Amino acid sequence: MLETFLQEIPAQALGKAQDLDMEIPYESCNKEINSLLGKTVFLGGKRLRPLLTFLMGQFFGVDEDRLEVCAQSIEMVHAASLAHDDVVDNASTRRGKDSINAAASNKKAVLAGDYLLASVITNLCKQESPVLVSEMSRVIMELAEGEWIQLEAIDKKDYSVDLIRTIALKKTASVMSWCAVSPAIISNQEEEVVELAREFGVHLGLGFQLMDDTLDFGGNSQKDAHLDLENGVISAVYFEWLNNHPEKLLAFKAGTELKDLYSQDGIQLAVESVKAQAHANLDRAEEILHEIARKAKTNKSFEELERDLKPLSFILRFIGRRDF
């Protein structure tokens, strides 16, 4: 599956994403913080966010050098969110290695994440585009609010379909939206196209998160086994499972911990239901992508637009089938 993915993606965009410089771009940066980030949250990863940024930029006809700061910025913000999440989740591993809080401490993990976010905003300010800075600030706020809402839900044991969607919108879809919106902004697209790009990113992000929730129930997850279960985090799959077991849902709302209620009985039914929801979002993203192609301002021929749409469409299909 991965080999097919690599064959379908333009080599130049793939190379730019894989070779993305993740060093904090300042001579005065704290070397100890940079080293800690390099050994933990910068390590590995699929580089899907920068790849999506480069492909959307290619579609809009943006020079790759102008896209690099956008791709680097969103990957760094994602890395900062991982640093903070590892503290909140009491994680011990990340992608098969020590998590940042295990490698250093909770306090240093939080500070490293904060330092990274500040460096992103500083770097974007140098691009002399207040709109880009505003968009990234919005992403960072959404990430923080999404985590806050999730923590409130854990404490109150008060979940709903809408709440789980809101958390996914803020913690995942906001990030994916940047990958589509920032190239649209740089290429001076009309507001309608910018908002379509945002909507594309939202549905891609929701589909990605829903599929990600199902991966914890396969054999290839690189997260701590059932970490969500131990922390009382209700993913889309766990919520679907609870809804299919009304007596357990009532017990959960009455205060019983999820880990004391959970069994594998019916879990695959819940997994398949969440996968169907993911595919519906990815299908909608595909529809929006073609709408963008009809309305975007470019100097490309129809054949060139179709060529540049193909890798984006393939990414949507890949997300819907991925098992890692």
pLDDT tens figures, 261-313? 999 999 999 999 999 999 999 999 999 999 999 999 998 888 898 899 999 99
How far, in Å, CA of 152 to CA of 144, rounded? Answer: 12
Tokens of 224: 């701590």
Instruction: Give the pLDDT band (50/70/90) at residue 324.
Output: low
pLDDT confidence of residue 221? 54
Q: pTM for the complete prediction? A: 0.91
**What are the Cα distances from residue 260, in Å, to 3, 215, 228, 255?**
41, 21, 13, 11
Tokens of 238: 């766990």
pLDDT score of 6 more than 80? no
Smallest CA-to-CA distance from 153 within 92, 233, 250 is with: 233
The CATH number that domain 29-321 falls under is: 1.10.600.10
Asked if residues 286 and 313 have their Cβ atoms less than 8 Å apart, the reply is yes
| CA dihedral over 92, 113, 149, 285, signed as positive or negative | negative
pLDDT tens digits for 170-220? 999 999 999 999 999 999 999 999 999 999 999 999 999 999 999 988 755
| Domain chopping of the chain, boundaries | 29-321
pLDDT confidence of residue 52? 97
pLDDT confidence of residue 2? 55
pLDDT score of 93 more than 90? no
Smallest CA-to-CA distance from 78 within 220, 168, 207, 176 is with: 176
